[in-house]
A and B are shown apart, each in its own frame.
Chain A
Amino acid sequence: MSIAQSFGKSARDWLADHLEPLVWIALVLWSPPIIFTVLVDLGFAGGAGSGYLPLRDPGLLLAIMQIVGMAAAVTFLRLRRRLLAFELLCGSLGVWWMHAAWTVQGRLRLIGRSDLVSRETLLTLGALMLASAVLFMVRRCYTRPAAVIAHPTTDQPRAVR
């Protein structure tokens, strides 16, 4: 095994082992602003300014779908339902791509093509590609059934003790 392959395997194993904490970090960063926006919309919290998305905005609905999917995924990871958790994470990633597309088209209409190279757009694109790469790298660890470890046996009848 070459050094590059060995490094790649180590990176993949590390990411697979730490997928749950990584999802938790993303949830902690993304959930409070979404929850706060919903609370402002419902009148339970006073906003710190203006510009909160209304509840019917597709961008907010997609963001809610994304964090609900991620929260379900970490729950299923805890319950050892790894395949289902991985599928939910892939679904959340898909929703994130849709959210980014929705946001970019809105900004393109408002700001113009110069927004395509704005810091926000490039950061979003970079984060999306990174998250996609992580899920692609660890896919085998989550989609393959766990190896069955069994004691080697012979076909002799079991001894009576």
Chain B
Amino acid sequence: MPLFVWLYGWQLIDLVEWRTLTAAPFTRLLDPAQQFLHASPFAHLLGAYYQRQGLGVDESFLVVYGVGLVLLANAALRLLIARCGANYWGAGALIIAGSPLLLTIISWIGKDDSFLLAFYLLLLLSPSPLTRAILCVLMVACHRELAVAMLVVHMLVRAEVAAIAAGAAAGLALSFFHTNALLDAAPSTRIDYVIEHARGLLARAATHPLAHFVAALGPFWIYVLRPSSVTLRRASALVIAAVTASLTLDFTRIFVLTAAPLLIELTEELVTEVRDHGGIALLGRRWPVGVLGVLAFAQLQLAGDRLSWIRGFSWTIAP
């Protein structure tokens, strides 16, 4: 992982919005095009709390997103050990590293993605329905629309509904209360943006379908598209992820986060195969997981000239 982070670097985002939203979290000060951020108040409220307790703007940013990354690392490790076993959690980590999840987490520091994913992983670990419902509420507080898409994919893939649906409904109700009662005026939402720009977004998404397809899951596609992995439920989950990504024109971050429940389930399945047969069946032969782990470093969709070892390399999707 340190090699991956060194190779791809990290990127901070939404620093100006952070300053505005944490200074006055209940006041609508952003431009209409940015007001959808009010529907993702988790980190901003936490930052506002820290600033009220004396931390500076930059320090609160560091603490909030540092806590998010530590929480995610802890939840991921616990989940890998719980689902893959103490001897095979490394294999699980190598398999999931083939997806752009890690790249997404380190490329959008300033979004609530680390918290969103950490709460989802904790949800998978928790046996208590009440805890699962609370974690769903927290996920919705991190990113209303993306969390709902993730939870729908989760319900499709894992076929469990009650606690998840109750938690998502409670989260949506609280989110509505936050944006429509606690804020001084209701902000524009992501749905408003999508309705206004749907035609243009879909047209742009259709311009380079192959590039978008490859960028969506990167090398992880080789696991997803194995004949033994494809089921109707999983295909539906991928369609949901593709539609959500098309409407945001974000075929890396949005696609991979929406499809995260599917990736995690598939990883568990692949680790079972590694445990039983010593490798993963691909292209007519069985590959040791250590060899496939190299695929983690083939995340080219976002890297561009950020790759330390190929300065000047550029992959532009748009013409």
Which of A14, A17, A18, A33 sits near B54, CB closer than 8 Å? A33
A36 CA to B54 CA, complexed, in Å = 8
CB pair B128–A48 under 8 Å, yes or no, is no
The total of Cβ contacts below 8 Å across the A-B interface reads 35
- What is the minimal beta-carbon distance from A107 to any residue of chain B, in angstroms? 17
Which of B59, B67, B131 sits near A28, CB closer than 8 Å? B67
Kindly state the interface size class of chain B when it binds its partner: 10 to 19
Residue of A18, A28, A32, A49 with most partner-chain B CB within 10 A: A32
Write the B40-61 contact mask toward A (1 if CB under 8 angstroms, else 0).
0000000001110111110100
Q: Does A37 contact B (CB under 8 A)?
A: yes
Q: Which residues of A contact B59 (CB under 8 A)?
A: 32, 36, 45, 48
CB pair B57–A48 under 8 Å, yes or no, is yes
- Which residue of chain A has its CB nearest to the CB of B49? A29
- What is the minimal beta-carbon distance from A14 to any residue of chain B, in angstroms? 6
- What is the minimal beta-carbon distance from A1 to any residue of chain B, in angstroms? 19
CB pair A48–B55 under 8 Å, yes or no, is yes
- What is the minimal beta-carbon distance from B42 to any residue of chain A, in angstroms? 13
CB pair B54–A37 under 8 Å, yes or no, is yes
Q: Does B33 contact A (CB under 8 A)?
A: no
Q: Does B206 contact A (CB under 8 A)?
A: no
CB pair B128–A14 under 8 Å, yes or no, is yes
CB pair A49–B128 under 8 Å, yes or no, is no
- Which residue of chain A has its CB nearest to the CB of B74? A24
Q: Does A54 contact B (CB under 8 A)?
A: no
Q: Does B63 contact A (CB under 8 A)?
A: yes
A154 CA to B173 CA, complexed, in Å = 60
Write the A47-79 contact mask toward B (1 if CB under 8 angstroms, else 0).
111011000000000000000000000000000
Q: Does B130 contact A (CB under 8 A)?
A: yes
- What is the minimal beta-carbon distance from B26 to any residue of chain A, in angstroms? 15
Which of A18, A32, A46 sits near B131, CB closer than 8 Å? A18
Tell me whether chain B's interface is mostly helix, strand or loop, or mixed.
helix
- What is the minimal beta-carbon distance from A45 to any residue of chain B, in angstroms? 7
Q: Which residues of A contact B63 (CB under 8 A)?
A: 32
- What is the minimal beta-carbon distance from A122 to any residue of chain B, in angstroms? 17
A136 CA to B200 CA, complexed, in Å = 59
Q: Which residues of B contact A32 (CB under 8 A)?
A: 50, 53, 55, 59, 63
- Which residue of chain A has its CB nearest to the CB of B56? A48
- What is the minimal beta-carbon distance from B221 to any residue of chain A, in angstroms? 36
- Which residue of chain B has its CB nearest to the CB of A29? B49
CB pair B51–A48 under 8 Å, yes or no, is yes
- Which residue of chain B has its CB nearest to the CB of A47? B54
A17 with B57, Cβ < 8 A, contacts A29-B49, A33-B50, A48-B51 known: no
- What is the minimal beta-carbon distance from A106 to any residue of chain B, in angstroms? 17
Q: Which residues of A contact B56 (CB under 8 A)?
A: 46-48
CB pair B128–A33 under 8 Å, yes or no, is no
Q: Which residues of A contact B51 (CB under 8 A)?
A: 48
A14 CA to B57 CA, complexed, in Å = 36
Q: Which of B44-98 contact A (CB under 8 A)?
A: 49-51, 53-57, 59, 63, 67
- What is the minimal beta-carbon distance from B24 to any residue of chain A, in angstroms? 16
A28 CA to B128 CA, complexed, in Å = 23
A29 CA to B63 CA, complexed, in Å = 10
- What is the minimal beta-carbon distance from B19 to any residue of chain A, in angstroms? 12
A37 CA to B50 CA, complexed, in Å = 12
Could you show 19 A-B contacts with beta carbons less than 8 Å apart?
A: A14-B130, A14-B131, A17-B128, A29-B49, A32-B55, A32-B63, A33-B50, A33-B53, A33-B54, A36-B54, A36-B59, A37-B54, A46-B56, A47-B54, A48-B51, A48-B54, A48-B59, A49-B54, A51-B54
Residues of B within 8 A of A (CB): 49-51, 53-57, 59, 63, 67, 128, 130-131
